[in-house]
Amino acid sequence: MTQTELKLLCQQTCEIINTVGDFLRDELGKVSNQQIETKSLNSLVSYVDKTAEEMLVEQLSAALPNSVFLTEEETIEQQKGEFRWIIDPLDGTTNFLHQIPVFSISVALQQNEETILGVVLEVNRNECFSAFKNGGAFLNDQPIKVKANDNLSDALIATGFPYYDFEREEAYFKLFRKLIHDTRGIRRLGSAAVDLCYVACGRFDAYFEYSLNSWDVAAGALIVQEAGGHVFDFSGVNEFLFGKEIVAVNDGLKKEFMELIQSHF
Ligand code: IPD
Ligand code: CA
Ligand code: CA
């Protein structure tokens, strides 16, 4: 795919995501307890996630014929192919169901297993973050960059708390304790895709979490990289997509923050 085609597809993906954002906004506050299913410990889903996914699949298939899908809710057959969309139709389901205003839609496109496009819509502020490979990163059409900060004491850190996999909680809370002493503070927004985009646009300096899936991070990771930031797994290599652990960090704090991660995990 040429850069021009990719740019156009990125714009189309933003338009598609926006129509699904309207749907999420319309459904906010309408889901009854009977309509909530528990997939596994603390992992909830409703018709809203599934319908949003179906809407995305239908429109993205039309935008890129012959593309295949890897999606959280598996409303379509999961396949591998040259062009594969990786989708989280509602990232922050718990927030959505509790009417807490941080949730998003995350869509990435891979070509031969390399991520080439990422779009995340943070629904409540109507902020569309996007990037395509070697094309830079954008927030509603304005270029974004990670924060220029190399002082840990000035850094605001994002994380996601463990909520079903408690095996590494000792290491996690030890690092958490260190960070509340040594940084400006820690936030837990409840949408991994938004956490990553906030690193990309400089609102957060760094973000870390374990037990995530590819659909939580695929789009956001490319947006961080295209904004000049770095994304790793906890061991410092590139296995963050399927490795179930991720660190995103601005350039200035890369060395210090990765050393902290590696000395704890
Ligand atoms: C969750 C959110 C949350 C993170 C969880 C994810 P979901 O995604 O990204 O911030 O802490 O690990 O599973 O289930 O709302 O799509
Ligand atoms: Ca998610
Ligand atoms: Ca989800």
What is the pLDDT, as a whole number, of residue 166? 84
- 182 and 114, same structural domain? no
Q: Are 83 and 183 part of one and the same domain?
A: no
- The tens digit of pLDDT for each residue in 58-82 reads 999 999 999 999 999 999 999 999 9
Which residues, 6+ apart, have CB-to-CB distance to 220 below 8 Å?
Answer: 106, 118, 120, 129, 192, 193, 194, 195, 196, 197, 200, 248
Q: Is the CB of 88 under 6 A from ligand 1?
A: yes
Q: CA geometry: angle at 265 spanning 222 and 254, to 5°? A: 45
Same domain, yes or no: 97 and 15: yes
Average pLDDT over residues 86-95: 98
Q: What's residue 167's pLDDT?
A: 86
Give pLDDT, residue 21.
Answer: 98
Counted domains in the chain: 2
- Ligand 3 centroid vs 101 CA: distance in angstroms? 15
Q: Please name the residue whose Cα sits nearest to atom 16 of ligand 1.
A: 91
- Indicate the residue among 90, 109, 143 that finishes a domain: 143
Instruction: Please report which confidence band the pLDDT of residue 87 belongs to, taking 50, 70 and 90 as the band edges.
Output: very high
Mean pLDDT of the chain: 96
Distance 91 CA to ligand 2 centre (A): 4
Q: Which ligand is nearest to the CA of 43?
A: 1
CATH of residue 84's domain is: 3.30.540.10
Is there a single domain that holds both residue 13 and residue 137?
yes
Q: Which of 111, 143, 175 is the last residue of a domain?
A: 143
Give the domain-ending residue among 113, 143, 173: 143
Q: Which atom of ligand 1 is nearest to the CA of 96?
A: 15
Closest CA to 67 of 54, 84, 55, 79: 84
Per-residue model confidence (pLDDT) at position 32: 93
Lowest mean pLDDT among 33-37, 51-55, 112-116: 33-37
Atom nearest to 94 CA in ligand 1: 15
Distance 133 CA to ligand 3 centre (A): 24
Residue 117 CB–ligand 1 contact under 6 Å: no
Over 80: is that where the pLDDT of 164 sits? no
- Which percentage of the chain shows pLDDT scores above 70? 100
Residue pLDDT, tens place only, 214-253: 999 999 999 999 999 999 999 999 999 999 999 999 999 9
